[in-house]
Copies of this chain bind each other. A is one copy, B any other.
Amino acid sequence: MKLGSDAKGVYVIAPTPFYPDGRVDDESIDRMTDFFIEAGATGITLLGQLGEAPKMTLDESVAIVRRVIGRASLPIVVGVSAPGFAAMRALTQDVMDAGAAGVMIAPPNTLRTDDAIVAYYAQASKAIGADVPFVIQDYPLTFSVQMTPGVIRRIVTENAACVMLKHEDWPGLEKISQLRSWEREGSMRRIAILTGNNALFLDFEMERGADGANTGYCFPDMLIDVVRWSAAGRRDEAHDLFDAHLPLIRYEQQPGPGLAVRKYVMMRRGIIASDTLRSPGAKLTAAARGEVDYLLARLARHDPRAACGQS
């Protein structure tokens, strides 16, 4: 099951659950995987930016990938971004051998010119093997690398293995429209566009032509509803649900404490056992936890899934 340019729906970005002492919590991985499947996820992305991959050894990383692949019959995409192609190639081989559907590659934050970005993806695809489907991660807020639509078109055109864009540019709505316009007029091969950035613009991204979401908001079940309803033309319903979640989406989208918020809510929802982050990682202050509790209580008036037990 290889990732293709027909991917759609919600590929959930999975966090990595740890026990309070820092060990990987396999039981929570299983429960979380089951939760994603039951919620209707169409795929899962492991070891992304918010999967705490840099804090794990290669062995731990590969073990997690194997565990999730063994449990889920969904396509599993694995983040393999690395400072060098040797490490990227090694991890890619391990996870593709284990049954991954494809890999996701973020650009190193030192790339500056259009040509440098395009060259990087060509080298990366060659390094991991031209038969390995890959996802471009376009997240300038985090990586400081700006890809114009034209650069993405060049990468897509030059690399047959490029099948998906994890779109998280900001602002990014016109970028989706531009790419889809080029596809319609035949000047660019069609790829899957799934959006990230904690879903902060998912409501309109779907209407601009996105195929779904590829992010890790603590209510992936909400993302799945919004994507389905939006695809089905139930515009107002999609926006109503989305807007109810927006105060929390915004809160979780903060770089730094965001992942701690995500894990805290997933713990409160019973999806994972502990909200532990491996060091170094932001900790929620009591004030922040109180704010999240308040946001959940308010959200529960619109979405009963938010009425999870207090911590």
Contacts and interface: CB of A to CB of B under 8 A. Distances in A.
Interface in A139-160: 146-148, 150-151
Nearest to A257: B171
Nearest to A83: B54
A45 B265 CA distance: 39
- The listed residue with most B CB atoms (<10 A of its CB), out of A57, A112, A207, is A112
A23 to B, nearest CB: 13
B86 A57 contact: yes
B82 A171 contact: no
Interface residues of A, number: 56
Contacts of A203: 247
A114 B173 contact: no
Given A87-B54, A171-B254, A243-B246, A109 B112 contact: no
Interface of A: 53-58, 60, 82-87, 90, 109-110, 112-116, 119, 123, 146-148, 150-151, 170-171, 173-174, 177, 200-201, 203-204, 207-208, 239, 243, 246-247, 250, 254-258, 279-280, 285, 287-288, 291, 298
10 contacts: A55-B86, A113-B147, A113-B148, A113-B151, A114-B148, A123-B279, A170-B255, A173-B287, A200-B250, A243-B243
